[in-house]
Amino acid sequence: MTVAVRQCMLRLQDEHSLEDYEGGVPRWCKGCGDNAILAAVQRLCRGEDLSLERTVFVSGIGCSSRFPHYMGTYGFHGIHGRAFPIAEGIKMARPDLNVFVNTGDGDCCSIGAAHWIHALRYNMNLTVLLHDNFVYGLTKKQASPTSPKGLRTNTTPRGAYLDALNPLSVTLGVQSVSFVAQAVDWIPQVLFDIVAAAYRHRGFSFVRIIQRCPEFMPGLFDPWLQDPSKTLLLTHEDGLQLAPELARIYKNHREHDPLDIDGARRLASSDDAIPVGILYRNPEVPCYEDLRRAGQARPVERIRAGLEAELDRFTVWPVADTHSGT
Ligand SMILES: Cc1ncc(C[n+]2csc(CCOP(=O)(O)OP(=O)(O)O)c2C)c(N)n1
Ligand code: SF4
């Protein structure tokens, strides 16, 4: 069913069903963590009753970047590393839209790294999901900036030489950062709660989701799945709140105030248990689209006059022919 037909039908409905947010059938591998992220996002859209025609998912290139195809909303499958500028352009033109970005660790932290830093600085109201599987999945196991030191890949057959880049620490180092969280694909309720908090934050909400790639990194996170004490859940009345069932399993949890940026930086760089929750949130950081009063309609006449003036600069006007007397 096309988006247009679907929209006509939806106008007759009061609210959306989960199926309304489903797009194509996902082609990710069995057990790929991207499936869990998709389920959490579709649940969020349903819970918030987001309108299909006012919601757009933007991605770069990679397995994770196939995300927009699997949503029933609008989407833009961009080019490698360029999801941020595309999303920013959409937000500038249409600040009323719900704009999500899905990006892989290669897409965001390698080829797109410059765009990532500047997007953080601009703090536009975007919900950004970094699907971090520690490897380039689509191109069949090449090292990414988040690959663990020593990882053997097709581009590092003797093992990766460098320490991994930490996306949380990088993000928390940018002056106008406004929301940073970390989730893991294998605790679905917490993943959902974090994605929902990111969506509700007005500003650039950055969620790093540790995502399993069973195809090229099999068993990498088995120790964390088998031993819940290796995951540190961050709770707070203004952050994540744990359901009693989860609190019984994940006993390693502690209070962390999302306003505490020094605490957030310490947690981000800690080598102990994986911190999961909202590390930092500051709703006071201004959004670039507000500073620039984005989305103001420009009258067609003004656009036409501007284009005419620009074209006139390059127009070669015919020179009067003095010999023919014209
Ligand atoms: C300019 C450019 N360079 C390289 C590529 C090849 N390429 C496609 S996807 C990709 C890496 C994807 O890895 P990641 O962003 O981590 O996503 P994943 O596939 O793991 O989800 C690369 C290098 C490309 N498509 N375009
Ligand atoms: S290669 Fe890895 S990241 Fe890509 S779809 Fe398969 S499991 Fe997922």
DSSP-based three-state secondary structure for 75: strand
Tell me the pLDDT band of 168, cut-offs 50, 70 and 90.
Answer: very high
DSSP per-residue codes, 110-155: IITHHHHHHHHHHT-S-EEEEEE-SEETTTTSEE-TTSPTT---SS
The verdict on the CB of residue 144 being under 6 Å from ligand 1 is yes
- Residue owning the nearest CA to atom 22 of ligand 1: 139
Q: Within 13 A of 76's CA, how many CA atoms are on the CB side?
A: 19
State which of 67, 77, 136, 217 you would mutate to test the pocket of ligand 1, scoring each by most atoms of that ligand within 8 A of its C-beta.
136
DSSP per-residue codes, 197-261: HHHHSSS-EEEEEE---TTTSTTTTHHHHH-GGGEEEEE-TTSB---HHHHHH---EEE--TT-H
pLDDT at 285: 98
The verdict on the CB of residue 28 being under 6 Å from ligand 2 is yes
The two three-digit tokens of residue 259, written as one number: 């306003």
Mean pLDDT of 104-127: 98
222-281 per-position pLDDT tens digit = 999 999 999 999 999 999 999 999 999 999 999 999 999 999 999 999 988 999 999 999
pLDDT at 197: 98
Percent residues over pLDDT 90 in the chain = 87
Q: Which residues pair with 132 in a beta bridge?
A: 210
Mean pLDDT of 27-55: 98
Given the CA of residue 62, which atom of ligand 1 is nearest to it? 19
Kindly report which listed range (13-17, 190-194, 271-275) carries the lowest average pLDDT score.
Answer: 13-17
Q: How far is the CA of 154 from the centre of ligand 2 (A)?
A: 16
Q: How far is the CA of 280 from the centre of ligand 1 (A)?
A: 29
Given the CA of residue 104, which atom of ligand 2 is nearest to it? 3
- Residue owning the nearest CA to atom 3 of ligand 1: 80
User: Is residue 3's pLDDT more than 60?
Assistant: no
State which of 29, 69, 139 you would mutate to test the pocket of ligand 2, scoring each by most atoms of that ligand within 8 A of its C-beta.
29
| Mean pLDDT, the chain, whole residue set | 94
User: Residue 226 corresponds to which amino acid?
Assistant: Q
Distances (CA, A) of 46 to 17, 89, 120, 229, 313: 6, 26, 27, 32, 51
Q: Which residues pair with 208 in a beta bridge?
A: 130, 182
Q: How far is the CA of 79 from the centre of ligand 1 (A)?
A: 9
User: Is residue 58's pLDDT more than 60?
Assistant: yes
Q: Is 252 exposed, middle or buried (0-12, 13-18, 19+ CB in 10 A)?
A: middle
User: Is residue 108's pLDDT more than 90?
Assistant: yes
281-322 per-position pLDDT tens digit = 999 999 999 999 888 877 888 889 999 999 999 998 888 766
Count of CB atoms situated within 10 Å of the CB of 187? 21
User: Is residue 1's pLDDT more than 80?
Assistant: no
State which of 129, 144, 216 you would mutate to test the pocket of ligand 2, scoring each by most atoms of that ligand within 8 A of its C-beta.
216
The two three-digit tokens of residue 268, written as one number: 């981000």
Q: How far is the CA of 215 from the centre of ligand 2 (A)?
A: 6
**In angstroms, rounded to a whole number, what is the distance separating the alpha carbons of residues 326 and 320?**
7
Pairing of strands 74-77, 98-104: unpaired
Q: Which residue has the higher pLDDT, 316 or 27?
A: 27
Tell me the pLDDT band of 128, cut-offs 50, 70 and 90.
Answer: very high
What is the chain's length? Answer: 326
Q: Nearest CA to 198 among 209, 210, 212? A: 209
State which of 28, 35, 59, 61 you would mutate to test the pocket of ligand 1, scoring each by most atoms of that ligand within 8 A of its C-beta.
61
**In angstroms, rounded to a whole number, what is the distance separating the alpha carbons of residues 78 and 68?**
10
Mean pLDDT of 157-180: 98
Q: Nearest CA to 177 among 76, 64, 65, 268? A: 268
- Residue owning the nearest CA to atom 1 of ligand 2: 137
Question: The whole model's pTM is what?
Answer: 0.90
- Classify the C-alpha dihedral 101-104-109-115 as positive or negative: negative
Tell me the pLDDT band of 11, cut-offs 50, 70 and 90.
Answer: low
78-105 per-position pLDDT tens digit = 999 999 999 999 999 999 999 999 999 9
pLDDT at 55: 98
